[in-house]
């Protein structure tokens, strides 16, 4: 199947509850152009430098999502165009995003990345840390970021029950937060749950994902 057919099939599978982010890391610009020419405009990259390089070469109506671990000193390179940052895992990073977004007269949508996997290698906040961040005075003062939801990556395992449990836990935390949304400042508008990749997006959508991040199932393995 072609790239366009893969995208169409996945979009049909996840509709109407979730939207697809095509993850293009390590893939050449020609592949993005092929998808773009088929009408697809929502892309995710995990490295700032690679995303900036592709942004510069491609049409400007593309919606860019930064999905990978982010260092504060890289925020400035993408603050003028990035639509959503999925990997916010500290107050310090959020403060830098707010500062750079302000310089560009923008409001950048951010997701808090929650640690949900049973693995040591994945980044993210605990539920307690996320709650602390949402309740902090520092967040209240930030006028150029909006906390739009949560992101999580399940364990890299064949065990579907384990993966499902991890997604369920993220969804439950999302609902718990939404039930106490009056405690949070007005720049917290929780509506997105970014979960699900090539191997587990179908389970993620069943468990309440609104944004799936799919790479290899569209563009082939890396």
Ligand X SMILES: *Cc1c(COP(=O)(O)O)cnc(C)c1O
The site for ligand X (CB under 6 A) is made up of 23, 25, 46, 67-68, 153, 197-199, 213-217
CB of 45 to ligand X, least distance (A): 9
Q: Residue of minimal CB distance from ligand X?
A: 215
Q: In this complex, which beta carbon is closest to ligand X, that of residue 187 or of residue 192?
A: 192
User: Peptide bond preceding 65: is omega within 30 degrees of 0, i.e. cis?
Assistant: no
Q: Tokens 């999925």 — which residue?
A: 86
Beta-bridge partner residues of 142 = none
Q: In this complex, which beta carbon is closest to ligand X, that of residue 46 or of residue 100?
A: 46
CB of 123 to ligand X, least distance (A): 9
CB of 23 to ligand X, least distance (A): 4
Question: Please, which residues have CB within 8 angstroms of residue 194's CB and are 6 or more apart in sequence?
Answer: 21, 67, 86, 111, 149, 150, 151, 152, 209, 210, 211, 212, 213
Q: In this complex, which beta carbon is closest to ligand X, that of residue 29 or of residue 183?
A: 29
Contact 101, 94 (CB under 8 A): no
Q: In this complex, which beta carbon is closest to ligand X, that of residue 185 or of residue 199?
A: 199
CB of 180 to ligand X, least distance (A): 28
**CA–CA distance, 59 with 56 (Å, rounded to integer):** 8
CB of 198 to ligand X, least distance (A): 3
DSSP H or E segment with residue 74: none
DSSP 77: G
Q: In this complex, which beta carbon is closest to ligand X, that of residue 142 or of residue 215?
A: 215
Burial (CB count <10 Å: 0-12, 13-18, 19+), residue 1: exposed
Q: For the chain, how many helices (H) and strands (E)? A: 9, 8
Contact 100, 75 (CB under 8 A): yes
Q: In this complex, which beta carbon is closest to ligand X, that of residue 117 or of residue 197?
A: 197
* Closest C-alpha to 27, from 42, 39, 43, 16: 43
CB of 35 to ligand X, least distance (A): 14
């Amino acid at each position: 199947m072609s790239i366009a057919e893969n995208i169409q099939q996945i979009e049909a599978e996840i509709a109407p509850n979730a939207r697809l982010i095509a993850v293009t890391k390590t893939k050449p610009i020609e592949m993005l152009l092929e998808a773009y020419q088929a009408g697809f405009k929502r892309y995710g990259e995990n490295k700032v430098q690679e995303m900036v390089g592709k942004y510069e070469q491609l049409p400007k109506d593309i919606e860019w999502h930064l999905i990978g671990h982010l260092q504060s000193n890289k925020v400035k390179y993408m603050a003028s165009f990035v639509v959503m940052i999925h990997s916010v895992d500290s107050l310090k990073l959020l403060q830098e995003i707010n500062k750079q977004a302000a310089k560009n007269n923008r409001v950048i949508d951010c997701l808090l990345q929650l640690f949900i996997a049973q693995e040591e290698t994945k980044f993210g906040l605990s539920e307690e840390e996320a709650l602390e961040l949402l309740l902090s005075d520092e967040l209240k003062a930030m006028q150029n970021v909006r906390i739009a939801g949560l992101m999580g990556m399940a364990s890299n395992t064949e065990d579907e029950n384990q993966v499902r449990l991890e997604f369920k836990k993220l969804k439950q935390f999302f609902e718990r937060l939404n039930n106490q949304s009056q405690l949070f400042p007005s720049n917290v508008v929780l509506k997105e749950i970014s979960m699900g990749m090539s191997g587990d997006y179908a389970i993620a959508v069943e468990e309440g994902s609104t944004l799936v991040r799919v790479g290899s199932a569209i563009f082939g393995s890396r």
